[in-house]
Copies of this chain bind each other. A is one copy, B any other.
Amino acid sequence: MTETNWQQLQTDVVALLKEARRQVLAKMHQTLTVDEKTSRKDLVTNVDKGNEQFLIGGIRQLDPQAQILGEEGFGDQLTSMAGRVWIVDPIDGTMNFVKQRDNFAMMIGIYQDGVGQLGFIYDVMNDVVYAGGPVVGGVWANDQPLTAPANLALADGLIGMSAPLVIHDVAHTQAIVHASAGMRIYGSAGIEMISIMRGKTLGYISHLKPWDFAAGQVLLNTLGIRTSTIDGQPLNMLSSNLVLVATEQAQRDILRIEEDDVSL
């Protein structure tokens, strides 16, 4: 690619995702092949793998020079964020996919020299693609432009969480929940990020890999939502992070809870 036509690229990626959805829905009600990765709660299916291969094939056609990081390992071995990097999660929320056939997402983030350009989160079962980024000046839910969520303080909204963090009270998550209006657990980073974009929760805290947050970071930052580590540092795009997503005010409230603990 010479000069990128971002608007066209966004259109092309949405078309790729729509075709991926058709294939996933066709396979979804057949018997799944489910394997455990690191534990019995960390699953991968034949659909995750097949969909990653399909998406990476499509991306290579759109952007032959791209470096691609894929959750299931069908992309490139990435050692830096230099150049154009695509980060792909073919099925985010695989446990929901397996147990619910609902509440899962496909996600793609496009970065240039480490800076987010475009993000895509596809709520597959509701058939809504959230797409956008700074290079196209906004975020759309299918054809509807999204407005920035209200800049709520922690006390005034609900917060998404991952279950293990709050059960083990990692990084004062129980104090954070207590200070919020309540905790919700949806079981998919993509679905949690959609909930924040729509103003239904004000944040989300979870241990995440790059493919879990790459797309959401682009979309959320475009809507004025902050993404950082739990202690306020930029996310490392090449490793796992304890991720804090929040409105500006709630981020400040949460970082204060973290700082109040001298043992951190």
Contact = CB atoms under 8 A, between A and B. Distances in A.
B181 A95 contact: yes
Interface stretch (A13-21, A76-84, A184-192): A184-192
A1 interface: no
Given A41-B182, A99-B200, A177 B163 contact: yes
Contacts of A184: 185-187
Interface string A143-169: 000000000000001100001001100
A257 B157 CA distance: 34
A63 B250 CA distance: 49
| Stoichiometry (number of copies) | 2
Nearest to A195: B100
> Chain A contact residues: over half helix, strand or loop, or mixed?
mixed
Given A95-B158, A100-B200, A163 B187 contact: no
Contacts of A166: 163, 166-167
A45 interface: no
A168 to B, nearest CB: 9
A72 interface: no
Interface string A28-48: 000000000000110000000
A102 B174 contact: no
B158 A187 contact: yes
A99 B187 contact: no
Nearest to A186: B184
Interface in A58-105: 95-96, 99-100, 102-103
Interface of A: 40-41, 95-96, 99-100, 102-103, 157-158, 163, 166-167, 174, 177, 181-187, 200-201
12 contacts: A41-B181, A41-B182, A99-B157, A99-B200, A103-B200, A158-B187, A163-B166, A163-B183, A167-B167, A167-B177, A184-B186, A185-B185
